[in-house]
């Protein structure tokens, strides 16, 4: 791989975009590498949580415009959409560890994550309208579902970035840390999530994500598609037994 680094440490997988010369902008090949890495980490039973970050003090500048001009290839994959992630994020929990700027496509990558940890010098925004464009890689779709609609529309229509502290105040960022500490904090959070029953975590994420589209009268019935298997699982029995026996559960993901 040339555009990313992939690591697995225990139950946590890491995808690090490593193109600092272009502020970790994504070209076609890198997008496909991200998609392939996600497929691989999803297939590994031992991996329960995934982190995405950028090397060199940057998260991602989004689309590599120089590469687009040179090749005519947009960084859109057949399996996971733009940047190898935005149209089909992983079913496993995904944490974005943001250092520096996450603007345009960079923020859209972060919005594909379930949780965002950011350094206090990070800037987050969707400047596309200032360039005659629309943030179509999930920006204008996901942002109004993550923060109050009026604040999302302000960011979308002005194109102005906000600081990490402000992003935390409005609920876009979960945790704010000192510069250089975003990945370490994301790892701590990933370890906590990975310590829970993996089948239950995936099901809970799926219901929390999908239920935004459900009507109130049908939500309880529709969630059973995800939760019935968890209720009847070996891990559910193990969780109850471990609680009674006052020990750490041993999850089997089944």
Are the C-beta atoms of 125 and 107 separated by less than 8 Å?
yes
Residue ranges of E strands in the chain: 4-9, 12-17, 49-54, 76-77, 81-82, 94-98, 101-103, 115-119, 123-125, 162-163, 175-177
Decide if 128 is catalytic: yes
Q: Across the chain, which distance is largest between two alpha carbons, in Å?
A: 63
Distance, in Å, from the CA atom of 16 to the CA atom of 234, rounded to the nearest integer, reads 34
Distance, in Å, from the CA atom of 213 to the CA atom of 224, rounded to the nearest integer, reads 15
Are the C-beta atoms of 115 and 174 separated by less than 8 Å?
yes
Assigned token pair, 176: 């704010």
Which of 183, 178, 190 lies closest to 119 in space, CA to CA?
Answer: 178
Which of 190, 196, 67 lies closest to 117 in space, CA to CA?
Answer: 190
Distance, in Å, from the CA atom of 20 to the CA atom of 240, rounded to the nearest integer, reads 47
Assigned token pair, 179: 């510069």
Active-site residue, from 5, 7, 99, 128: 128
Decide if 5 is catalytic: no
Active-site residue, from 108, 165, 169, 181: 108
Positions marked catalytic: 108, 128
């Amino acid at each position: 791989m040339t555009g990313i680094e992939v690591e697995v440490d225990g139950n946590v997988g890491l995808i690090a975009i490593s193109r600092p010369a272009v502020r970790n902008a994504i070209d076609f090949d890198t997008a496909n590498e991200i998609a392939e890495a996600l497929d691989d980490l999803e297939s590994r039973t031992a991996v329960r949580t995934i982190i995405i970050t950028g090397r060199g003090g940057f998260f991602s500048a989004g689309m590599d415009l120089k590469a687009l001009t040179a090749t005519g290839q947009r960084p859109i994959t057949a399996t996971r959409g733009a940047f190898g992630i935005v149209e089909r994020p992983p079913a496993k929990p995904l944490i974005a560890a943001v250092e520096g700027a996450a603007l345009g496509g960079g923020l859209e990558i972060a919005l594909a994550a379930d949780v965002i940890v950011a350094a206090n010098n990070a800037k987050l925004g969707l400047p596309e309208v200032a360039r005659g464009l629309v943030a179509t890689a999930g920006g204008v779709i996901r942002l109004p579902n993550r923060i109050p609609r009026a604040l999302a529309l302000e960011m979308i229509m002005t194109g102005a970035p906000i600081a990490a502290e402000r992003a935390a105040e409005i609920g876009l960022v979960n945790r704010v840390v000192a510069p250089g500490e975003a990945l370490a904090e994301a790892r701590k959070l990933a370890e906590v999530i990975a310590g829970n029953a993996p089948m239950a975590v995936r099901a809970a994420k799926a219901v929390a994500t999908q239920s935004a589209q459900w009507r109130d009268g049908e939500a309880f019935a529709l969630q059973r598609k995800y939760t019935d298997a968890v209720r009847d699982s070996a891990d559910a029995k193990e969780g109850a037994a471990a609680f009674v026996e006052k020990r750490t559960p041993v999850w089997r993901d089944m």
